[in-house]
Amino acid sequence: MADLPHVDLADLSRSRRLLEHPSLAVQVADYVGMPIEALVKRLPAGARKVIGDATQKALGASLDVALRTLDGRRPGAAADWIHRGMVMASGAAGGAVGLPGLLLELPFSLTVMFRSIADHARAQGEDLSQIAARLECLTVFAYGSRSRSDDAAESAYFAMRATLARAVSQAAELVAERGIAEAVSEKGAPAIVQLLARIAQRLGVSVTDKAAAQLLPIIGAAGGAAINTLFINHYQDTAWAHFTVRRLERLHGPEAVRIAYERAGA
């Protein structure tokens, strides 16, 4: 089997570093000067459930965006700086108010991040007129999040892709059968519930980390903006990496890319 061109190998190697070693928790801990675990322990009683419920609602808002408003092909590079500016502003507003501000800010911030993820998908050649491609954008929140139960198994990224593939396929089939309007109105449908639950399980860890840092008394508005900047930078990097892998698979075939990906980690 022929090797991938050097430029594609370089992109694949960078993608692997971003996907296999999510750094959001480390960056947040460095910014506030204490380990994430210590931050999470300082959350108010009951805050984790509140944050978890807010994460689910925010994902639902992003699903609405995915199915209702994303257009198909639009040439051009991803406009990262526009989305960063919007998320920084919302983080500043949320950081100034505490937990109530976070709960109001999160759906907006997550939806803006989702639009940024979709920008990266387009830039890498994804056809967002296809429902499956739109749902694939949503899965980036799962790839870019660490899990407290993760072990050192090789290629956690491909393992997560395999886990999510069936959920994406079933959700896309539901939309094709019932239409977008009905699918959005029936978020209790098993296919939609399963997809959102799998993503929320991973995303919720990162949102909790973000909340724990953002709710420190010393953070305030400026700190909230900084935490949100770390957050969106992380998911923009993850989106670039995920859709780079998919672009290379379309060019060279999934097997060749998987082999090269594993070699990059050897």
Q: Which domain holds residue 175?
A: 6-264
Residue 90 lies in a domain: yes
**76 lies in some domain:** yes
| Contact present, 89 and 208 (Cβ < 8 Å) | no
Average pLDDT, stretch 115-135? 91
Q: How far apart are the first and last CA of the chain?
A: 18
If you average pLDDT over residues 86-102, what whole number do you get? 64
Number of domains in the chain: 1
**Contact (Cβ atoms closer than 8 angstroms) between residue 90 and residue 105:** yes
Residue 148 forms part of a structural domain: yes
**For all residues of the chain together, what is the average pLDDT?**
83
Residue 1 lies in a domain: no
What's the mean pLDDT in 205-233? 79
137: left (phi over 0), alpha (psi -120 to 50) or beta: alpha
pLDDT 10s digits, 23-62: 788 888 888 788 888 888 888 778 888 888 889 888 988 8
Tokens standing for 227?
């935490």
Asked, for residue 30, whether it belongs to a domain, the answer is yes
CB atoms within 10 A of CB 122: 22
Task: Annotate 137-161 with b (16+ C-beta within 10 A) or e (fewer).
Answer: bbbbbbbbbbeeeeeeeebbbbebb
| Residue 159: inside a domain | yes
Residue 244 token pair:
């780079």
Confirm whether 130 is domain-assigned. Answer: yes
Nearest to 156 by CA among 253, 27, 22: 22
**Which pair of structure tokens corresponds to residue 136?**
């694939």
Strand spans (E) along the chain:
none
Give whole-number Cα distances, 262 to 101, 129, 156, 158, in Å. Answer: 43, 31, 11, 10
Residue 258 has pLDDT above 80, yes or no: yes
Q: Does position 141 have pLDDT exceeding 90, yes or no?
A: yes
Residue 182 above 90 pLDDT? Answer: no
